[in-house]
Structure 1
Amino acid sequence: MTTTAKLRGGVLLRGVGKSYGTGDATVHALRDVDLDVEPGELAVVLGPSGSGKTTLLNVIGGIEAADHGRIRVAGRELTGQAPGSLSGFRRRHVGFVFQFFNLIATLTARENIEVVAELTGRGDRGRASELLAAVGLADRADAFPAQLSGGEQQRVALARALVTDPDLLLADEPTGSLDMATGRTILRLLQDTNREGLGVLMVTHNAAVAAMAHRVVTMRDGRVQSVVRQEAPVDAERVNW
């Protein structure tokens, strides 16, 4: 973890629950989850499909409201917030990176980043070129998503997530559809971003990725089974799977 940059993006959850459906069809996605992630940490959430990882990410990011429990993210209380307030919180404080990129097919790489700055009212559209250069895509700014490889699209998605200067970056299986070499590139970019002080919370089914985390959270059946603090995370280049 960086020791010179301002550390951002802490998470505190207490007794957080989230269910879907009713009666016999009820699915308990989160069951009284307690979790602490310090500002500036890179945390990895592990667990099989259906363990509650993505729901956890959605609740932390304000995409969904919890049914009960206390939620504090980046110094802001989300407990009991109305949908409109959660939407404002997302725009101002959280960046998202998803497995399947979610780029707009009719916009260029640069425009995909610019549109987020414009729609959220945060960030500087002019940073798009700077961010593309930071992820190694300065020469692909005018390419459309269909003209980019999977790894290039994911790098655009990361640049898009950073254009609003968030406090916390949430990544849901960001390397799940990539080969190991390309996946390592994404992990290195996430780690570099974290070393600048930005909190990063990454969901993955890939246990090998946990080696680069400050904090490793394991989930099963909607519960946190274990939390392990690692004092010496490895460099992303050393992650193998």
Structure 2
Amino acid sequence: MIEHSKANAPANDRPRGGIRLHGVGKTYGEGEAAVHALTGVDLDIAPGELVAILGASGSGKTTLLNIIGGIEPADTGSIIVAGQDISATKPTALGAFRRDHVGFVFQFFNLIPSLTARENVEVIIELTGRGDRRRVSELLAAVGLADRADHFPAQLSGGQQQRVSIARALATDPDLLLADEPTGALDVATGRSVLELLQRTSRAGRGVVMVTHNEAAAEIADRVIRMRDGRVVSAEINADPVDAATIRW
């Protein structure tokens, strides 16, 4: 696995969220209708690394993210995430793996409309039994929403809703944050603020894997992985990631 140091990471916070995939394959359907979403994927992601996965629609990037997060199983290959071999984990135990190790951020926020921003973060702590409700105010402040904690999703902009979803994903203190097109529904300014949060999360020692179609957004990553037709076609180290606060697209 590639060794990768994290600038600005706290000295007492070890890098977390390493990933190792070998020979991972996933097929949907059978016979002539079969779709090979992933074929023979080999990939190492170091703990604490910020990785962007790029590819056209149908290239397999979201399927790859779902498999890394234990949302769906692979058909073939081995998958080790945060030190756990999830390819050998029974489906009934994958829920515990997701609860204990992974935070998810989706393009369309998935907030509960009848709950305030604060309550949307608190509910994941209550459901999983992980995290500390006393940190909810701290998390909302960290994503710039201390003054919007008691607002409902309909009273928040798209960018604010996405920042609530990131606070919610971090509430259980996961090793790894997985983000699927987190800026896809946002304008440039709010998208930039979300990328800043993801970059800050990585620099604090957590692994972050972001699926995106946006070449400019990928410039903040430590490594850029490109996919085509269910295969990884390149994995390039970015020696000088762009500061998310200055990104333009």
Do they superpose with TM above 0.5? yes
Among 224, 227, 235, the residue aligned to 1:216: 224
Separation of aligned partners in 1, 2:240 and 2:15: 18
Runs of 4+ in 1 over 6 A off after TM superposition: none
**Partner amino acid, structure 2, of 1:209:** A
Q: What does the per-residue CA deviation read over 1:12-43, in whole Å, with 9 as the maximum and x for residues that have no partner? A: 00000011111111111111100111001100
**TM-score for both structures, normalised by structure 2:** 0.95
Among 100, 108, 119, the residue aligned to 2:108: 100
- 1:161-180, aligned counterparts within 5 Å? 161-180=169-188
**Partner amino acid, structure 2, of 1:26:** A
Q: What does the per-residue CA deviation read over 1:33-90, in whole Å, with 9 as the maximum and x for residues that have no partner? A: 0011100110000001000010000000000010010000111111132211111100
How large is the RMSD of aligned CA atoms in angstroms? 0.9
SS, match of residue 219 in structure 1: strand
The match for 1:200 is 208
- 1:186-197, aligned counterparts within 5 Å? 186-197=194-205
Separation of aligned partners in 2, 1:120 and 1:26: 36
SS, match of residue 237 in structure 1: helix
User: After alignment, is 134-143 or 154-163 more displaced?
Assistant: 134-143
The match for 2:93 is 85
Measure how far apart 1:126 and its partner are: 2.0
Separation of aligned partners in 1, 2:29 and 2:118: 40
**Partner amino acid, structure 1, of 2:145:** L
Separation of aligned partners in 1, 2:199 and 2:147: 23
Separation of aligned partners in 1, 2:134 and 2:119: 11
Separation of aligned partners in 1, 2:62 and 2:17: 18
Structure 2's unaligned 5+ residue stretches are: 1-5
Separation of aligned partners in 2, 1:62 and 1:235: 30
Structure 1's unaligned 5+ residue stretches are: none
**TM-score for both structures, normalised by structure 1:** 0.98
User: After alignment, is 154-163 or 228-237 more displaced?
Assistant: 228-237
The match for 2:46 is 38
